[in-house]
């Protein structure tokens, strides 16, 4: 079975991160305390964990900085990409790449959350999104 249960991102400031995810995306936490916030997603849980506490939990040194990866949030229409990116920037995000049409089709832009975690906001006409927000790979 191919499955991901939880994605956890390291954060420096819980209040700042909550503003980005709650005010920017409009997501509601299912749990939060001074060092961790959980959001129930459609099929997995997104965790925001205070960076040093996450490093200690893993038994690794906190390396900080941005990783060579990006999470993606797909939207049902092209017209939703830019307004969502603007809302996320207003909530503390930082523009990395303004929305545009890549050579392979669709429409996308990139931004970083306040902790430097990269997000792609995308519309891909070949990847339908159902009523529960599940995206299906398609060509």
Residue 34 phi, psi dihedral angles, 5° rounding: -70, -15
Question: Given this model, what pLDDT does residue 67 score?
Answer: 53
37 inside domain: yes
137 inside domain: no
1 inside domain: no
138 inside domain: no
* CATH number, domain with residue 72: 3.10.180.10
Domain range holding 19? 6-59+68-123
How many domains, the chain? 1
107 inside domain: yes
Nearest alpha-carbon partner for 24 in 89, 95, 80, 107:
89
CB 120 within 8 A of CB 110: yes
Instruction: Report pTM.
Output: 0.85
Tokens of 92: 């503390």
Give the DSSP letter of residue 129: B
128 inside domain: no
Distance CA 106, CA 100 (A): 9
Tokens of 64: 């900080």
Tell me the per-residue pLDDT of 80-128, one tens digit each, with 9 for 90 and over: 999 999 999 999 999 999 999 988 889 999 999 999 899 999 999 988 8
Tell me the per-residue pLDDT of 56-82, one tens digit each, with 9 for 90 and over: 877 877 665 555 568 999 999 999 999
131 inside domain: no
Q: How many CB atoms lie within 10 A of CB 28?
A: 9
130 inside domain: no
Question: Given this model, what pLDDT does residue 138 score?
Answer: 75
pLDDT beyond 80 at 46: yes
């Amino acid at each position: 079975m191919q499955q991901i249960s939880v994605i956890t991102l390291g954060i420096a400031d819980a209040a700042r991160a909550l503003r980005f995810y709650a005010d920017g995306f409009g997501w509601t936490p299912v749990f939060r305390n001074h060092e961790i916030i959980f959001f129930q997603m459609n099929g997995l849980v997104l965790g925001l964990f205070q960076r040093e506490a996450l490093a200690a939990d893993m038994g690794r040194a906190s390396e900080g900085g941005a990783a060579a990866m990006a999470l993606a949030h797909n939207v049902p229409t092209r017209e939703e990409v830019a307004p969502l990116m603007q809302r996320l920037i207003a909530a503390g995000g930082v523009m990395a790449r303004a929305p545009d049409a890549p050579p392979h089709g669709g429409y996308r832009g990139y931004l970083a959350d306040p902790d430097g975690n990269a997000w792609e906001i995308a519309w891909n006409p070949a990847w339908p999104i159902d009523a529960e927000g599940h995206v299906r790979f398609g060509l």
